[in-house]
Chains A and B, each alone.
Chain A
C-alpha cells in the first residue's frame, strides 16, 4: 500500500512542477515560437500588412541572396562589426576583471567592481546619442582634440565620411570595459578553486603565465557565454546603427538586421523582411552550433581530462 502511494505522491509532485513550467512554455510558444513559424511561412509570400499576400515560393530568398545589392555588403559590415565586438569583449573586460580580482584588499575590489559595473545603468540609446552628438560631432571631442593638436586637416564628419563611418560605429563604447562582461569574468575568476591557485603558485606559475595557462582555461565557460551572446547581438542588433547613422552614408554601415527593419516598416515588404529574418536565424543557429562544437567550456575541458 505504501509502495503504491509513494509513486503516486511523486507523480503528483512532478505533475505540479510540469504544470507550473507549462504556463511559461505556453506563453513562450504563443509569443516566440508561433511568430517564428508564422514569419517563416510569410517569407514565402510577397506580403505587406493590410495588403494581399501573393505566394512567391523561395523568391524572397533568391532575391535577398542573389539580386539585392545591399545583401553582401551588409553581411560584410555585420561580420566586421561582430568580429571586432568579439575581440573586444573577450579580451578587454577579461583583463579588467583579472586586474580587479588581483587587488589584495576586498574593499577596493568592491569599489572597482562598482566602478566598472555602473555604466550598465546608462541606456544604450543615451550612449549612442552621446557618441554621435558630443564625441563625433563636427565640433565634438575628436575633432576639437585634433584641432588643438594642430591636426585640423584630419578633422571630419566621422559618421558621414564613407571611409570612417564603419570604424567610427565600431568604436562606440570605447574602451569596452564597463558592463556585465567584467562581472561575468570576475565571477569566473572568483570561482577558481583556491587549491588550483595554490598548486600554480607551488609550481612557480605566476603572472602572465598563470593568466594564460590557468585563468583563461578556468573561465572558458564564461568566455563561451560572452562569445555566444556577442555573436547573437552582432547578427541581430541594429538599434545603435539606426540611431547614429541609419545605415549610411549609402549602405556603408547597413547590416542585414537594419535592412530587414527598413523593408518591413518603411518599404512595406514584410515577406521580404521575414526572409531576411529567417536567413539571420539560420546564421545565428549555425554559428551557435559551431561554437558549441568547437569552443569547449571549463566543464568539458575537465571532463576531457
Chain B
C-alpha cells in the first residue's frame, strides 16, 4: 500500500518536473554562463540566439571535408568583446517550415534566422519579422566609427552591399525588406572536361549547340545533364521565361517602384503578373507562355530519368553524367575531392536563338541566383518590450548584423572556403568562384516564379511540371493546370494585399504604342 503511494508521489513529481515552465533564456540578470562559450562577466544582459544556417555554422565541416569552420565564431567573439553585456549563442535549427511557424507563433524562434525569404513573405503581416528598412537607410555605426565619409555604409547601411539589385529585390510584397542578403549564390552547369574531350565537344555558345552537345554526350552513353525537378521548376522556368518575354518588357512592365527600379529594371512584380494574367498573359492564349513548357519538354529528354532524385552529385563524380546544373557552392565539393578523377569546368546556360523559338529575345541568359544566406530578424529580438521601436535588445541584434557586414568581417566569414560570393563592397571573390561572379554581372531575371506570395502555387507548379515532363499529362492539360493555379495564386494575392489596378491600367494604356510593334501578344 505504502509502495503504491510512494509510486504515485514519484510519478506526480516526475510529471511536475517535466511540465514545469523552463526559465527563459533571456533575463535581465541572466548571469549563468552557457556551454561552449568563453567565460563572461557577471553582467551579461543580452543573450542573442543566432541560427546562421549550414553554410557558416561554426564547427561544422562542409561536405564532411576539411577543417571545422571558425570564421563566424571568431567575428562574433570580437563582437562580444566589444559588448561585454552581450553573448551570442549559435543554434542549428531544422530547416523545415513547421519548426519555423511554431517557434515564431510562440515568440521562441532564434533572434536571427536564415531562411529563404519567400517563406518569410507569407508571414510578414503577422508581425513575426522585423522590417530592416529603417536600419538599412541609416549609417552603419561601425563604418562611421572608422571616420571615412567615403566608405560604403557611412551614409547609409544599404551602400555596403555590392549586389543592390538582388538585395533590394528581396523586398516583400508589402514593399519592405525583411532579409539581409549577406552573400550571393549563382547557378552554373558544371561539366566534365574529360568526357567533353572524349566526345569531341566544347562548352556551347547558344541553346541549339547546347542541345547538340547533349545529343552527342547521350550517344556516347552518358547522361547529358543531371538535374532535379526543383531545378526545372525554379531555375529553368525563370531563365526560359526571361528568354521569351524579355523583349516585351517595354510594353508590359507597368510599375516603376522608385526605390527598386534603378536596380531592378523591368522586374515583373506579382501585382503586374496578376494584372497581365487577367489580360490573357500566361494562359493558353499566350503563345510565349506555352513555348516555355514546350522547350522544357524538349530539353527534358537529355536529363536523368528520375527527376525526384536528390543524389545527383554521385552521378557526376562517378562520371555517369557529363554535366550537372548546380549552385556555386558545389565548387567546393569538387575542389575538395582529392579522389576526383577528371578535370571540370563551368558554363552558364546559353541563350535561345531564332532556331530555338520565334519568340527569342536575343539577350544573354539572365541572373537567377541571388541571395544565398538570407538573414532575418524575428519577433524574439524585441521580446524585451514587445515593441520594435523601444526595444534595446533589438538594437543589439541589429548591431551584430551591422558588425558582421563590415568588409573585414564578411571576408573572414564568407571567404573561409570557396562556396559563396560576398555581398559586401570591397570583399574579394575567391578565384574558383570567378565564373559565378561574372554571371552575377548580368541583368536580373524578369521575375522569380517561385517567389510568389502563395507557396501553394510553387508546390502545384512543381508537381504538375514533373508530371508533364514525365509524360503523365498532355501539354493542354498541363497548361490548364497552370492557368488555374495562377488564377488561384492571384486570387490569394488580392485577398492579402490591395492591388492598385487603376495605376496599372493607366500604365498599360500609356504603353500601348510600345506594344503595337510587338508580335504574338495574347488577345486582350
Chain A residues in the interface with B (C-beta under 8 A):
12-13, 16-17, 19-20, 23, 27, 49-51, 132-133, 136-139, 143, 155-162, 244-252, 262, 264-268
Contacts and interface: CB of A to CB of B under 8 A. Distances in A.
Nearest to B454: A267
A132 B311 CA distance: 10
A16 B1 CA distance: 8
A249 B470 contact: yes
A138 B223 contact: yes
Nearest to A23: B11
A162 B1 contact: no
Contact of A155 (B8, B98, B104, B305): B305
Given A132-B308, A155-B305, 15 more contacts: A12-B1, A13-B1, A27-B15, A49-B102, A49-B105, A50-B128, A136-B306, A138-B306, A143-B305, A156-B305, A157-B309, A159-B309, A162-B471, A248-B467, A249-B308
The secondary-structure label for the interface of chain B is helix
Contacts of A162: 467, 470-472
B515 interface: no
A266 B459 contact: yes
Contacts of B125: 51
B200 to A, nearest CB: 24
Contacts of B223: 138
Contact of B472 (A23, A136, A252, A264): A252
Nearest to A262: B459
Contact of A132 (B1, B309, B463): B309
Contacts of B463: 247-251
Interface of B: 1, 4-5, 7-8, 11-12, 15, 96-98, 101-102, 104-105, 122-123, 125-128, 223, 229, 304-311, 315, 320, 455-456, 459, 462-464, 466-467, 470-473
Nearest to B101: A49
19 contacts: A16-B8, A23-B15, A49-B101, A49-B105, A133-B311, A137-B306, A137-B309, A157-B306, A157-B308, A157-B309, A160-B308, A161-B305, A247-B463, A248-B466, A249-B308, A252-B472, A265-B97, A267-B459, A268-B455
A51 B126 contact: yes
A171 B456 CA distance: 29
A160 B466 contact: yes
Given A50-B123, A138-B223, A268-B455, A249 B1 contact: no
Contacts of B123: 50
Given A50-B126, A252-B472, A268-B455, A244 B467 contact: no
B317 to A, nearest CB: 13
B360 to A, nearest CB: 29
Contact of A20 (B8, B97, B473): B8
A13 B311 CA distance: 61
Contacts of B471: 162
Contacts of A143: 305
A139 B126 contact: no
Contacts of A138: 223, 304-306, 309, 315, 320
Nearest to B5: A16
A12 to B, nearest CB: 7
Contacts of B320: 138-139
A248 B308 contact: yes
Nearest to B484: A69
A3 to B, nearest CB: 19
Contacts of A158: 306
A20 B15 CA distance: 12
Nearest to B478: A250
A294 B262 CA distance: 73
A244 B97 contact: no
Contacts, number: 120
A55 to B, nearest CB: 17
A250 B467 contact: yes
Which 8 A-B residue pairings sit nearest by Cβ, starting from the closest? A157-B306, A250-B467, A162-B472, A157-B305, A50-B126, A249-B466, A265-B98, A267-B456
A145 to B, nearest CB: 15
Nearest to B457: A267
B7 to A, nearest CB: 6
A143 B305 CA distance: 11
Contacts of A12: 1
A53 to B, nearest CB: 13
Given A16-B4, A23-B11, A249-B467, A159 B308 contact: yes
Nearest to A13: B1
Contact of B308 (A13, A245, A264): A245
Contacts of A13: 1, 4
A148 to B, nearest CB: 15
Contacts of B101: 49-50, 265, 268
B308 A23 contact: no
Contacts of A244: 308
A175 to B, nearest CB: 23
A16 B12 CA distance: 12
Contacts of A249: 229, 307-308, 463, 466-467, 470, 472
Nearest to A161: B470
Given A50-B105, A248-B463, A266 B307 contact: no
A297 to B, nearest CB: 32
From B15, B101, B127, residue with most partner A Cβ within 10 Å: B101
Contacts of A250: 463-464, 466-467, 472-473
B323 to A, nearest CB: 14
A266 B97 contact: yes
Contacts of B459: 262, 266-267
B63 to A, nearest CB: 17
Contacts of A137: 306, 309, 311
Contacts of B305: 138, 143, 155-157, 160-161
A139 B221 CA distance: 12
A147 to B, nearest CB: 11
A245 B7 CA distance: 48
Contacts of A252: 467, 472
A251 B102 CA distance: 27
A272 to B, nearest CB: 11
